[in-house]
């Protein structure tokens, strides 16, 4: 027995008419009867194609300012009836309900209306009732009915009816039903999130996903769900990988800390900064960021807080790097950076980032507010007898910004607004500090006069003692240990500056 069904009648009720004309003309060629309402009805009539007004079927006009048009048993009966069910067939005849084989709907643009900053009254009016009901009804009855639930599906539908002369298989109908439920669930999620004020309830829906080459490793599948094109304009290079995207995310969040600062350049590897510097020119910032760890910079992700000019691009071009990100580039800089075939060049758009962070955990999700606290002068509490100099204050805040965006446990060493070294992702803070000192020494940095930032408090004075012996003269940390006095006393005895911020910045 064939599972194909030929479309003989269609109900069309859409907000946007873009792309609808060729579908209507093709269905008309295939002798399909049209039912419609309002503006869509006028659209079909203006094509010179016969259309039956819905009110002729229901014997009821559109009421309440158009809020109620299709919500009627003769419409939903025509969509929901089971053609192989004897009782349904009898009732269709008894109540003179017309069969509806196809429903085409394009919902009111709720999300676009919210994004436009419209009034609440206008937003409420863009909550589609009839359209969403038609979608659910037709999708539920996919065995007998076809549903096209979005203008985004018009091209696929036109191709199917053209190739198959208006006949759709059960598999075709089920696929369109699946897409329809995706449309309806995404729509309802957007409406819920507009109204929701309860942080203990979390709903998210991303309309489109991107298939990646693979996940973190080649044996893992990988996908990205988000609007990458809203954040970046890609100018050149290969497709971004799963790991590229993680590094880009880390880079964007890090450079945001320096958005309004002097030219700042950062180099990241495995989500952590391996080089970062703030200077008077972007070229100088890049060169000093690179000097922080030229070994790790190989194959890294580079990001700037301002335009990349030609001279900076010439320097970058000598390094093998995966991704370069900036809010803008000189034309010549783009030409230079594009000399490497696979190098990804991104222009970062100035858009608001999500304020919730989400990650899988056990058999569920962890959701938290984004860490939007950036330590500044007003946060600092000097706890030692010796206060920081103006230069030390600048370096302490500089180091704190990097520390906040580095994997815990972490220690960051900085001097003259340059990242000298960091200890990242260690199981003890002492190990993180020793790693940072060893790394700084390996690149011949003089730690005398450097500052140290810690993402959490020191439970013992061992870290400040090690730092002091290495030449570090100022420390920034959140404070809060019951043994803070031990660290403070050591600093006072050895003329080391220490300031508390009161804010911990763990990053796991």
Secondary structure (DSSP) of 194-243: HH---TT------S-EEE-S-SSSTTS--EEES-HHHHEEEEESS---HH
Contact 74, 48 (CB under 8 A): no
Buried b (16+ CB within 10 A) or exposed e, 138-173: bbebbebbbbbbbbebbeebbebbeeeebebeeebb
The Cα–Cα gap between 396 and 288 comes to 18
- Paired strand residues for 265: 277, 304
| Total residue length of the chain | 508
> Does residue 356 carry a catalytic annotation?
no
Which of the residues 182, 270, 340, 434 is marked catalytic? 270
Tokens 């093709």 label which residue? 26
> Does residue 163 carry a catalytic annotation?
no
CA dihedral 298, 444, 279, 283 (to 10 degrees): -40
Q: Tokens for 210?
A: 């991107």
In sequence order, the 6+-apart residues with CB closer than 8 A to the CB of 505 are 371, 373, 400, 403, 404, 455, 456, 478
Which of the residues 45, 140, 236, 307 is marked catalytic? 140
- Output the CA–CA distances (angstroms, integers) from residue 404 to 273, 289, 396, in the order listed: 11, 18, 12
Looking at the annotation, which residues are catalytic? 140, 270
């Amino acid at each position: 027995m064939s599972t194909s069904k030929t479309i003989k009648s269609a109900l069309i009720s859409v907000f946007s008419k873009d792309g609808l004309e060729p579908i209507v003309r093709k269905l008309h060629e295939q002798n399909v009867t049209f039912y419609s309402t309002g503006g869509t009805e006028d659209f079909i009539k203006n094509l010179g194609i016969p259309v039956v007004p819905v009110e002729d079927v229901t014997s009821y006009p559109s009421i309440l300012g158009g809020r109620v048009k299709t919500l009627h048993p003769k419409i939903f009966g025509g969509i929901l009836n089971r053609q192989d069910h004897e009782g349904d067939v009898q009732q269709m005849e008894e109540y003179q309900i017309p069969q509806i084989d196809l429903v085409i709907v394009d919902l009111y643009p709720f999300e676009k209306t919210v994004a436009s900053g419209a009034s609440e009254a206008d937003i409420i009016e863009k909550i589609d009732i009839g359209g969403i009901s038609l979608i659910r009804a037709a999708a539920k009855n996919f065995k007998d009915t076809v549903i096209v639930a979005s203008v985004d599906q018009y091209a696929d539908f036109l191709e199917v009816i053209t190739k198959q002369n208006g006949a759709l298989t059960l598999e075709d109908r089920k696929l369109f039903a699946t897409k329809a439920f995706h449309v309806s669930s995404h729509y309802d999620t957007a409406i819920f999130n507009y109204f929701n004020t309860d942080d203990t309830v979390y709903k998210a829906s991303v309309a489109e996903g991107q298939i990646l080459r693979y996940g973190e490793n080649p044996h893992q599948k990988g996908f990205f769900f988000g609007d990458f094109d809203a954040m970046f304009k890609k100018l050149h290079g290969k497709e971004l990988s799963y790991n590229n995207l993680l590094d880009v995310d880390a880079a964007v969040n890090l450079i945001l800390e320096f958005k309004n600062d002097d030219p700042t350049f950062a180099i990241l590897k495995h989500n952590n900064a391996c080089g970062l510097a703030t200077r008077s020119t972007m070229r100088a910032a890049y060169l000093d960021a690179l000097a922080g760890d030229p070994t790790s910079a190989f194959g890294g992700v580079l990001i700037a807080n301002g335009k990349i000019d030609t001279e900076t691009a010439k320097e970058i071009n000598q390094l093998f790097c995966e991704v370069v990100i900036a809010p803008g580039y000189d034309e010549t800089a783009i030409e230079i950076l594009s000399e490497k075939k696979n190098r990804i060049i991104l222009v970062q758009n100035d858009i608001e980032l999500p304020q919730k962070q989400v990650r899988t955990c056990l058999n569920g999700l962890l959701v938290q507010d984004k860490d939007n606290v950036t330590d500044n002068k007003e946060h600092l509490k000097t706890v030692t007898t010796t206060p920081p100099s103006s230069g030390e204050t600048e370096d302490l805040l500089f180091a704190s910004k990097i520390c906040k965006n580095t994997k815990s446990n972490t220690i960051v060493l900085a001097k003259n607004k340059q990242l000298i070294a960091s200890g990242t992702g260690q199981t003890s803070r002492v190990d993180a500090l020793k790693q940072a000192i060893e790394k700084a020494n390996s690149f011949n940095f003089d730690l005398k006069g450097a500052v140290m930032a810690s993402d959490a408090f020191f439970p013992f004075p061992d870290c400040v003692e090690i730092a002091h012996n290495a030449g570090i003269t100022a420390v920034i940390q959140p404070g809060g240990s019951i043994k803070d006095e031990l660290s403070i006393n050591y600093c006072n005895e050895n003329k080391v500056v220490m300031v508390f911020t009161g804010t911990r910045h763990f990053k796991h």
